Structure 1
Amino acid sequence: PATEEKPAQLVLQLRDADSAPTKFKELSDRVTKVTAALHRQQRAEEERRELEAQMLQSQKLESLGVMAGGIAHDFNNLLTSIIGYSELARAQLPEHSAAGEFVDAAVTGARRAAELTQQMLAYSGKGSRIVEPVQLSRLVKDITRLLEVSISKKCVMRFELPEDLPACMADATQLRQVIMNLIINASDAIGDRSGVISITTGAAWCDRDYLDENFINDTLEEGLYVHMEVADTGKGMSADVRARIFDPFFTTKFTGRGLGLAAVLGVIRGHKGAIRVYSEPGRGTTFKVLLPAAPGVEPQAVKSDSEPEQWQGFGTALVIDDEESIRALARHMLMRMGFEVATASDGREGVEVYREMAASNPLVLLDLTMPHLDGAAAFAQLRRINPKVRVIVMSGYGEQTIDTQFAGKGLAGFLQKPFRLAELRDVVKAAVEP
């Protein structure tokens, strides 16, 4: 064929025998320089293409994150009304009644929907987090039994979890979600065949060259990192599948499995870490998670949950939210706690209502995203009226977003939508009691 490559010989004949060695060396040097220049150009072109691909992937993930966060915010507003009013209705029904059971089932379904929105917020990097020292090996051991019952009985799990691992500053609940999703993904990859899933943890110093070569997150800094690898002996992935596995709802199955690996990516990025996948068809898959270490910090003991209190408050409160259903819901809940409650439909109206009520120093529940005057601007004006105003910010976004906007500004509390009566009571109690 015309395109077939064949070996060739270059024959040089120099008529002047005396100058032949010199001319040959000059020609050889020129060929060497041209060849080296071509190789450099080829390498530069390959690096440029790889960098462009990484930038496109990063931009795509950022865009999907913004979209996921916006959808989660809107759904959380809707779920706040569904869960809140259902709980108020349940409180009016006999404990053992058919209607009560129906309401309980509705609340359970709504809370499952809220869990999905939390995964969407995790993917967007705006999820609510409780950051504390976490020892990764210990965390994996604590959920070993849960991991084993979540996978196929044909899968064998192997662990390599050193005890002397340094801690990392993380949300333990979100890291458990990461581990579970990676294990379930590995089990799905093995399918009905027998296979092995390995979980390995460790720590290593990562320099700039290693980070640039292995992870596309350009915000990673040199330093000590803890890492976790989840490897399986499954069917592996093609390059096309690897490029899409972190997209929301992407699946190689006939039915979707939710956000899955997309939520994993969001959690890791929210912890200033990174994740990389190594896989080839027929050779299995390995996910490597990297998290900044916090050497010298000891993990805290797990706190037990306490029973909700039937606490009662007093005084006045002001609810500022552009969603009428949420205003009414919060008003009913606060009235059950003993407050006299006024409402406002946006930030501008809320500031005027507060000005009229300032003498009674009302507690303020303030939505973050509103027309005319958003939560941050309304908060600033409320502080000008009363520097000691007690404000609880409500939002369908996570606490991480609130911390960024209100750090050091004297916020009395944060309430994640959708919220339950007990959660509102706890936040209000903390805000009004010294």
Structure 2
Amino acid sequence: MTEANSNNINGFSTSDFIVFLASLLLCVAIGGFYAYKDRKKKVDNYYFGGKKISPIPLGISMSVTFISAVTVLGYPTESYVYGIISLWYAFTLVIPNIIACLYYIPLIHRLQVTTIYEYLELRFDVKLRKLQSAIEIFNQTTYMGLTVYLPALALNAVTPLALTWTIILTSGICTFYTAFGGMKAVVWVDTIQAGIMLAGVLAVLIRTTMIVGGFNNVWVALEESGRDNFWDFNPDPTLRSTGWTILVGVSVTQSILCCCNQSICQRYLSCRTERDAKLAAVISLVPKIVISSLCTISGCVAYTYFKGCDPIKAKNVSKPDQLMPYLVLQVFRDMPGMTGFFVAAIFSGTLSTVSSGINALSSLLLEDFLVPIKPQLSQTAQMVISKVTALILGTLVTAVAYLASALGGNLVSVVLIFRGLFGGPVLATFTLGMFFPWTNAKA
């Protein structure tokens, strides 16, 4: 590899700032456009886009709701440290989509529920609906805080900006276009961000592979280090990562997102028909698998590039999740604007996830908690409340991002722990309700 200039990895040029800021201003512009265009429309349009959104942009939006900075930064770090076994993360996305298409999308479209937890009131009772909705609000807020922290950490690594300001910048822009633009702004910004993410990850992968001399050299480095472990299906449950633990464990956590997550279910209901919703779910698989796979392979290529001079052990980066920004500074040192483009890709992942989450949680607060208490609320009042709650949620996400800075280690592990801890019981409740007719609310 080329030797690092110093332990200070700040290296944003003027051209990098221009590229990065242009991507952020585009998001703000789209949010402002839909805020003005749909200013007189009803709450249904704000949360579901009038239920007339095409399945193609909706499918892409669903895919990048899954793909966050955790994917763009965390997956390469996983494969860098633990080997190509991490590639199984990409393929665990297929099974949950099949389950959603067979059982959950038909149920959601048949009932036409406003929130996914409304089903729990219909099947069990209102207390369970409120409990599960409250759990989801806490779980999603925590997850969004972690996803805001990651790109803020990346920007802090490559620019002179303090971590405080990078967190405020990330959550502030995202909250703005989500609160005022609604579902249409979220979907169309997501579509653009998917392209930015794909291009940014590909640029780093291709450039680094060329520098290390091709994939043959990458595979040799993986073999020599024992990281060629893709087919490791050791049944020992105490091992951190094997084919079985990833396929089974991550399939369950992804099923939570595909089947009973408000962000995704809002998109199912934003389609005209059940058939369009299933088509959107299938379309979403392609960007998810492609981008997740490329991120994982990038970590393997990064290992080859840094072989013999690990920046994590050398303390050239303060946290493992700064590995990819550090790599980008090295390989694009003589290509102005490319570092800014990659950081824009990281931010795209976070903006897409957090915007979807804020929009979804705002609907949960309105429909599961406020409307049952004040059913006489006018459409105008509901719109005002929706935007105010979105702003409040954005503030909470910012606070969680600050707390995340105190956590050590790789945040992919932290995210999976939170998803399993809070999402598992929610998925279990839906499963019991749908497939076990004798189960009651107390059980």
Question: TM-score per shorter chain, which class?
Answer: under 0.3
Larger radius of gyration: 1
Q: Which has the higher contact order (CA 8 A, sep 6+)?
A: 2
Higher strand share: 1
User: TM-score with structure 1 length normalisation?
Assistant: 0.24
Higher helix share: 2
User: TM-score with structure 2 length normalisation?
Assistant: 0.23
